Chain A
Amino acid sequence: MLTTPRLIAIALCAALNVAVGSAVYLVKLPVYLDSIGAILCALLLASHRRVAFVCTLISALTSTLVTGVLINPFLPWFVGTDLTIALVSAFVTSRGADTFRARPMEPYRFGGLVLLYGILTGIAAAIVSAPVVAFVFGGVTGSGTALIVGVLLKSGEQLFRATLTSGLVADPIDKTLQVLIAALLFRATPSDFVAMVRGTPARGATGA
């Protein structure tokens, strides 16, 4: 299952998570973008969904651990979100792998799938993150979505419901952006690298 090319793909995707997620965290953008590598890992291994799940999860957990120690100490609280993203990416988002690499690109189908998978990932991530955000962080994690939480609380909403609602508004947008970037990077990845990771012969006709 964990061949050397897959190990390298896991590490590369984890490194991508760390690099992009840390940059976004440090410049305080109103998005997270810390799971692009994990989603990409699932797409790279789309032909073997169980392998994709294991590799995506390892990639997500590794990046969470490394970022947690080096950059953002709050991230390890969200390991449950890592597990959820790995599940959705490996068993749902990876179904769009062929469309994401289709040449010529089918823009409507590509855009539709990105939107669908992004929203699904976002809803799942919001549901799993909400208890952590509410009970560990008091509803405020430092991102702009806390303002939505504040407004909902002001209107008399309970903390958990306010956090969940805010997550359900913000996470699908963030995750759609992440699925879009992951799909475009997957599309740009050379075919021989994809074949090496999947353990199949390279198909020269597809890929950049």
Chain B
Amino acid sequence: MTPNGAAAFALVAVLAAILGDAVGLAAAGLIVAAFAAIETGARSWAALRRAVLVMLPLAAFMLVIWAGIVGRSPSEIAAGVPGSRTAALAYVAGVAARLFVVVLLVQVVTLRFAEGTPFGLIRRLYLPLGAKRVVVVTLSLIETLRQSIDRAHTALIAGGIVTRTLSLRNAANGWLLIQTVWLTAITTVTARLRDKWPVESTLALLDPALDGAERRLAVRDMVWIGLALAALVIAAAR
């Protein structure tokens, strides 16, 4: 399967999950489960765990708001009838199930390509070169920012400006940490732009390295996209 096919499949399946009623959602859910079992394999368990961890607190919060505080469903509010907690519960179950399918889908599609590097995955995507360049440099700079946080934090602790544990000094000087992180990152990036990258021809080497998009969809892609389209038709028809 190609990353482009997986992205198209995910997009259509998300639409099917969001647009459909219970039957449309069940169709989308079945296709996601099949994709997880066939394409992602054993890594699907990690995807499932992550989706549960993301959705469980949100679903619990929804339950508190809808079943606990509001006590009736949106349709009952719209109709101006007293309503019931059971209807609110059913509403929460529907929204949470829909979001769960979407989160699980994103996870299984992402983990389908977990064996490769992010750079390799971006290289295979059929996107404009400029867009790929921005994403790759962003991922690299996220690491730079993390390192800047470590450096700035250590320096400010050494200088007695902030402390390792919770303290009033941290509250008072927290802004200095943010500013130092930003200035450290700027200094690093400026040095790269002026000295390191020109000497190493980094950006000149980046474009050919990223220019490897897979322009055709594989048969497998077509099958999955076709199945997702079928789910979308079911969702739209109901």
Contact = CB atoms under 8 A, between A and B. Distances in A.
A185 B69 contact: no
Interface residues of B, number: 52
A184 B175 CA distance: 10
A97 interface: no
Interface residues of A, number: 50
Task: Select the residue from B54, B77, B92, B182 with max chain A CB neighbours within 10 A.
Answer: B182
Contacts of A157: 77
Given A14-B134, A147-B65, A159-B74, A142 B175 contact: no
Nearest to B135: A62
A74 B96 CA distance: 12
Contact of A15 (B80, B142, B203): B142
B106 interface: yes
Contacts of B92: 138
B103 interface: yes
Given A73-B54, A138-B62, A181-B178, A66 B138 contact: yes
A73 B65 contact: no
Interface of B: 18, 54, 57-58, 61-62, 64-66, 68-71, 74, 77-78, 80, 91-92, 95, 99, 102-103, 106-107, 110, 130, 133-135, 137-142, 144-146, 149, 175, 178-179, 182-183, 185-186, 189-190, 192-193, 203
Interface of A: 2, 4-5, 7-8, 10-12, 14-16, 18-19, 58, 62-63, 65-66, 68-69, 73-74, 136-142, 146-147, 149-151, 153-154, 156-159, 181, 184-185, 188-190, 192-193, 196, 208
